[in-house]
Amino acid sequence: MAGRAEPPDGGWGWMVVLSAFFMSALVFGVLRSFGVFFVEFVAAFEEQAARVSWIASIGIAVQQFGSPIGSALSTKFGPRPVVMTGGILAALGMLLASFATSLPHLYLSIGLLSGSGWALTFTPTLACLSRYFSCRRSLAMGLALTGVGLSSFAFAPLFQWLLNRYAWRGALLLVSALSCHIVACGALLRPLSLAEDTAVGGPGAQLTSLLHHGPFLRYTVALTLINTGYFVPYVHLVAHLQDLGWDPLSAAFLLSVAAISDLVGRVASGWLGDAVPGPVARLLMLWTTLTGVSLALFPVAQASIALVVLAVAYGFTSGALTPVAFSVLPELVGTGRIYCGLGLLQMVESVGGLLGAPLSGYLRDVTGNYTASFVVAGAFLLAGSGILITLPHFFSCFSAPTSSPQDLVTEALDAKVSLPREEGLGEE
Amino acid sequence: MVLQKVELHTPMSPLDESGQTFNPGQTGSTPAPPPEAFIEDGPLAFCNPLRIRHRRGWFRSGENRLNLQRLQGRERESDSPFTSVPVREEMMGKYSNLSSESHNISLTEHSSMPVEKNITLESSSIITLTCQYTTLGNLNSINVTWKKDDELLKNFSLAITGNTLYTEYTTTVINSKQMGSYSCLFEDEKEQRGTFNIKVPELHGKNKPLITYVGDSTVLVCKCQHCYPLHWTWYRSNGSIQVPIDVHTKEKYVVSGAYRNETKLKIKHLLEEDGGSYWCHAVFQLGESEEQLELVVLSFLVPLKPFLAIIAEAVVLVAVILLCEVYTQKKKKHPDEGKEFEQIEQLKSDDSNGIENNAPRQRKNESVSQ
């Protein structure tokens, strides 16, 4: 069957945006709001806080490391069956967790089972979205990823209400029912065949070609570095503010302000990414540099006004780099290899994400305050943005068309940037 | 026997006029008198000169219209303004580790009623309550009384300095009978009252009901921030009656507590009947303090209904999406099929025309051949 030459850039694509919106809400919104369950688990299982927080960490790790598998399966079978299976797995994991009698039980059910469900869901959906759009890809990405931010506003109070009414067992049961809607999101992902699909071959061939793809590898390194620094504010900002003498309520409020500006940044950057000609990688470099600078300035700011401004700036710029990061990838590797590219990207950059927060914590323990942590995080971001300059067509005045197989080779790494945020918030 | 304390007026008094604590041993200029004790009917009273503050002391009778009744017993003849009596040694040992506290209320003729002070006591103590009343009028015409929960008290002292009338009441609190509200009343034109509320520490906990499921086990916690009860007891309530919990049935209830100021009741193998109100009592030397905890035991069916409803809704959603897609694909095929159908119809009609033409020929041929 002959595929289309160009992505539809609309039409059913907007339904895919809707699907991606709800999916990112149900995957990362749930992960982020899991902190609400944290207190209940500590009391119910009489375990230490560190051991309970492993539940979310395992879930995030499985989701990230399992991404290539989700991608490979999507390449072979199309995104729809894979995402629907992922939804069923995620819901099943939560269902089994509601019967848990000990903490390892939760590690396996939520961490492993739901985590693998999420692995089969997130990457294929976003990759499918990239295939549906070319001119408005960044905007579509930005709109879809707002689901993460909005859901963490909605789910945290919702989960707390569920806990008050049904205790943690009943609440997990209902979160499982909620996760079933991922299956509905998957049903919306109509398969799309594009012209270059036949050119790039099956998942094994794609993975091999990606691993030999210079720009893709460079992009992977850049995003890994970006990921390392990206999470630090979400994990340590509250503690840093309390060190400066802020009370917990004001500190949490500041995080909410940053989250709102993050939301605005995502949509604005998505629109900008499509409106500005030239490779999207340049915008990514701009946002990454600004994020790195605002991070590095955090220790310098002492006055409340300065901190609020910096938090807003950080929120906006880090939200802005998210959709752009996903958009650069199709430009580099092409929409034919997007599934595998995205999966591989997620897996490698997760190393940065998993190392970033503990490294920052270690620096804090060694130096006694967060100055070193924030400066190092900013440095990682700037290093990552530096590597972005090495991407092909960086200095050209027009953007390369995304459908031709030659361009597939040059795009690679857009997807990663949004991921660090979601991952780090599991620790909140 | 009534004992009163009165003010020392001599300027050569060993008391520090600025109000600092007088410790005879520390000044060095006067010999340190031994600590004194008074024996009264009822509670034992100590008067410790180390605690003398601000214009308190002993007054020999005759120099003022305020009386000092002498104690029965031996009185030391000396220039020392203190008197002493022998104290039974066993009683000394019994009460030697009592703590002592003093509390003060200031009133004027313009004070708004009522002026109260809350005193929290856990264990036996000697309490000294002082009220001072400042007015520009005539202090001598004021009638001073002390009451405990509307019962008149007798053993209090009075003193006047300048514009202020001081009155003091000391009591030893050793059991719950001495807890309550102690009031000093000054009857001037208006009655001014100061009240000291002596209570055991209260327990303040979270009032959220604890929700659990059948078959689970749960832990009820009672904590007291700054108090250390002698022990804790747990009760259940059926309506208004509190029934003690039998904690020796180890299969069901386990009481534990890591620190003295908290207690935990673990209930295993929960049943629906285990739901209700639970009470933890903190027992002090001077009384008890209690807190109510609410336990709700749900069966699994309670969250199951919304669960099934949401799952059903998700299934319906998936079905609708897939059916819509199948429907739109069919619609797309139908216009194409429509064109093909017409073509097939045309071919068929051509064929049938051909066959009809052929058939008669064949028959004709056949008929001819025969």
Task: With beta carbons under 8 A apart, name residues in chain A contacting B258.
Answer: none
**Mean pLDDT, residues A341-365 taken together:** 80
Q: How far apart are CA B328 and CA B260, in angstroms?
A: 72
Q: How far apart are the first and last CA of chain A?
A: 48
Q: How far apart are CA A411 and CA A416, in angstroms?
A: 12
- B121 in Cβ contact with B135 (< 8 Å): no
- A170 in Cβ contact with A37 (< 8 Å): no
Q: ipTM of this complex > 0.90?
A: no
**Mean pLDDT, residues A107-131 taken together:** 92
A174 to B306: CB separation less than 8 angstroms, yes or no: yes
Say what the pLDDT of residue B174 is. 86
Task: With beta carbons under 8 A apart, name residues in chain A contacting B302.
Answer: 166, 170
Task: With beta carbons under 8 A apart, name residues in chain A contacting B267.
Answer: none
Residue from the list A43, A164, A177 with its beta carbon closest to the beta carbon of B310: A177
- A247 in Cβ contact with A375 (< 8 Å): no
- B202 in Cβ contact with B289 (< 8 Å): yes
Q: How far apart are CA B122 and CA B199, in angstroms?
A: 8
Q: How far apart are CA B71 and CA B73, in angstroms?
A: 6
Does any CB of chain A come closer than 8 Å to the CB of residue B213?
Answer: yes
- Residues from A in contact with B at Cβ < 8 Å: 43, 46, 84, 164-167, 169-171, 173-174, 176-178, 180-181, 183-184, 187-188, 190
Task: With beta carbons under 8 A apart, name residues in chain A contacting B324.
Answer: none
Q: How far apart are CA B243 and CA A297, in angstroms?
A: 63
User: How distant, in Å, are the alpha carbons of A107, A244, A352, B348 from that of A230?
Assistant: 26, 22, 9, 71
Task: Report the largest interatomic distance among the alpha carbons of chain B, rounded to a whole angstrom.
Answer: 174
Mutation pick from B213, B220, B267, B307 vs chain A, by most beta carbons of A within 10 Å, is: B307
Task: With beta carbons under 8 A apart, name residues in chain B contacting A175.
Answer: none
- A73 in Cβ contact with A339 (< 8 Å): no
Mutation pick from A85, A105, A166 vs chain B, by most beta carbons of B within 10 Å, is: A166
Does any CB of chain A come closer than 8 Å to the CB of residue B314?
Answer: yes
- For the stretch B182-200, pLDDT in tens is 998 888 788 888 899 998 8
Tokens of B245: 């919990």
Q: How far apart are CA B174 and CA A153, in angstroms?
A: 56
A169 to B325: CB separation less than 8 angstroms, yes or no: no
What is the full per-residue pLDDT of chain B (370 aa) written as tens digits? 344 443 333 333 343 334 333 344 343 344 444 444 444 433 334 344 444 444 344 444 443 444 444 444 444 433 333 344 444 444 444 455 678 888 888 888 777 767 889 988 888 889 999 998 888 878 788 888 999 988 898 888 888 888 888 999 999 888 888 889 999 888 878 888 889 999 888 887 767 788 999 988 888 888 888 888 888 899 998 778 888 888 777 788 888 887 888 888 889 899 988 889 999 898 888 888 889 999 999 998 899 999 999 999 999 999 999 999 899 888 888 765 655 556 666 666 555 554 444 444 444 444 444 3
User: How distant, in Å, are the alpha carbons of A368, B51, B298, B344 from that of B35?
Assistant: 54, 10, 64, 127
Tokens of A95: 């269902």
- A256 in Cβ contact with A119 (< 8 Å): no
- For the stretch A133-170, pLDDT in tens is 888 888 888 899 888 878 877 887 888 888 888 989 99
B17 CB-contact burial (10 Å; exposed 0-12 / middle 13-18 / buried 19+): exposed
Does any CB of chain A come closer than 8 Å to the CB of residue B326?
Answer: no
Q: How far apart are CA A134 and CA A330, in angstroms?
A: 9
Task: With beta carbons under 8 A apart, name residues in chain B contacting A173.
Answer: 303-304, 307
Mutation pick from B264, B317, B324, B328 vs chain A, by most beta carbons of A within 10 Å, is: B317
- For the stretch A356-390, pLDDT in tens is 777 777 787 788 878 888 888 899 999 998 888 88
A184 to B216: CB separation less than 8 angstroms, yes or no: no
Say what the pLDDT of residue B52 is. 40
Tokens of A159: 């989960």
Task: With beta carbons under 8 A apart, name residues in chain B contacting A180.
Answer: 310-311, 314-315
Closest-CA distance of chain A to residue B213, Å? 8
Fill in the amino acid letter for B237: S
Say what the pLDDT of residue A379 is. 92
A187 to B314: CB separation less than 8 angstroms, yes or no: no
| Residues 6 or more apart in contact with residue A171 via CB below 8 angstroms | A37, A159, A162, A163, A165, B303
A166 to B298: CB separation less than 8 angstroms, yes or no: yes
Q: How many CB pairs under 8 A join A and B?
A: 56
Name the strands in the sheet holding B218-223, side by side, starting at the edge strand that comes first in the sequence: B218-223, B262-267, B253-256
Does any CB of chain A come closer than 8 Å to the CB of residue B302?
Answer: yes
Mutation pick from B268, B318, B323 vs chain A, by most beta carbons of A within 10 Å, is: B318
Angle between helices A137-179 and A12-24 (to 10 degrees): 50
Residue from the list A169, A170, A184 with its beta carbon closest to the beta carbon of B321: A184
Residue from the list B302, B317, B321 with its beta carbon closest to the beta carbon of A170: B302
- A106 in Cβ contact with A121 (< 8 Å): no
Does any CB of chain A come closer than 8 Å to the CB of residue B130?
Answer: no
- B135 in Cβ contact with B144 (< 8 Å): no
Q: Which of A266, A220, A262 is nearest to A384 (CA)?
A: A220
Q: Which of A25, A340, A320 is nearest to A153 (CA)?
A: A25
Count, in order, helices (H) and strands (E) of chain A: 22, 0
Say what the pLDDT of residue A137 is. 85
Tokens of B101: 């506290």
Q: How far apart are CA A156 and CA A29, in angstroms?
A: 9
A169 to B321: CB separation less than 8 angstroms, yes or no: no
DSSP state of A337: G
Q: How far apart are CA A231 and CA A419, in angstroms?
A: 10
pTM for this prediction = 0.67
Say what the pLDDT of residue A428 is. 32
**In B217-342, where do the E strands start and end?**
218-223, 231-238, 241-244, 253-256, 262-267, 276-284, 287-298
Task: With beta carbons under 8 A apart, name residues in chain A contacting B325.
Answer: 190
Long-range contacts of A281-284 (CB under 8 A, 24+ apart): A281/A328, A281/A331, A281/A388, A281/A391, A281/A393, A281/A394, A282/A394, A283/A324, A284/A321, A284/A324, A284/A325, A284/A328, A284/A385, A284/A388, A284/A414, A284/A417
B317 to A181: CB separation less than 8 angstroms, yes or no: yes
Task: With beta carbons under 8 A apart, name residues in chain B contacting A184.
Answer: 314, 317-318, 321
Say what the pLDDT of residue B55 is. 39
Say what the pLDDT of residue B202 is. 86
Say what the pLDDT of residue A398 is. 56
Angle between helices A137-179 and A418-425 (to 10 degrees): 30
Residue B324: closest CA among chain A residues belongs to which residue?
A188
**Across all residues in chain B, what is the average pLDDT?**
72
Compute φ and ψ for A162, nearest 5 degrees. Answer: -60, -40
**Residue with structure tokens 């799952």?**
B311
A177 to B304: CB separation less than 8 angstroms, yes or no: no
Closest-CA distance of chain B to residue A378, Å? 43
Residue B214: closest CA among chain A residues belongs to which residue?
A169
Does any CB of chain A come closer than 8 Å to the CB of residue B298?
Answer: yes
B311 to A177: CB separation less than 8 angstroms, yes or no: yes
Does any CB of chain A come closer than 8 Å to the CB of residue B318?
Answer: yes
- B181 in Cβ contact with B149 (< 8 Å): yes
Closest-CA distance of chain A to residue B90, Å? 49
- A126 in Cβ contact with A415 (< 8 Å): yes
User: How distant, in Å, are the alpha carbons of B81, B216, B246 from that of B249?
Assistant: 64, 17, 6
Say what the pLDDT of residue B37 is. 44
User: Under the phi-then-psi rule, with left for phi > 0, alpha for psi from -120 to 50, and beta for the rest, what region is B299?
Assistant: beta
Query: Considering Cα of A340, then A343, then A349, then A351, what sign does the dihedral take?
Result: negative
DSSP state of B283: E
Q: How far apart are CA B306 and CA A46, in angstroms?
A: 29
Tokens of B77: 């003849």
β-sheet bridge partners, residue B99: B125
- A262 in Cβ contact with A230 (< 8 Å): no
Query: Considering Cα of B302, then B308, then B309, then B314, what sign does the dihedral take?
Result: positive
- For the stretch A272-297, pLDDT in tens is 888 887 788 888 899 999 999 998 89
**B3 vs A393, more confident:** A393
Q: Which of A181, A246, A219, A224 is nearest to A341 (CA)?
A: A219
DSSP state of A401: P
B310 to A183: CB separation less than 8 angstroms, yes or no: no
**Mean pLDDT, residues A91-115 taken together:** 93
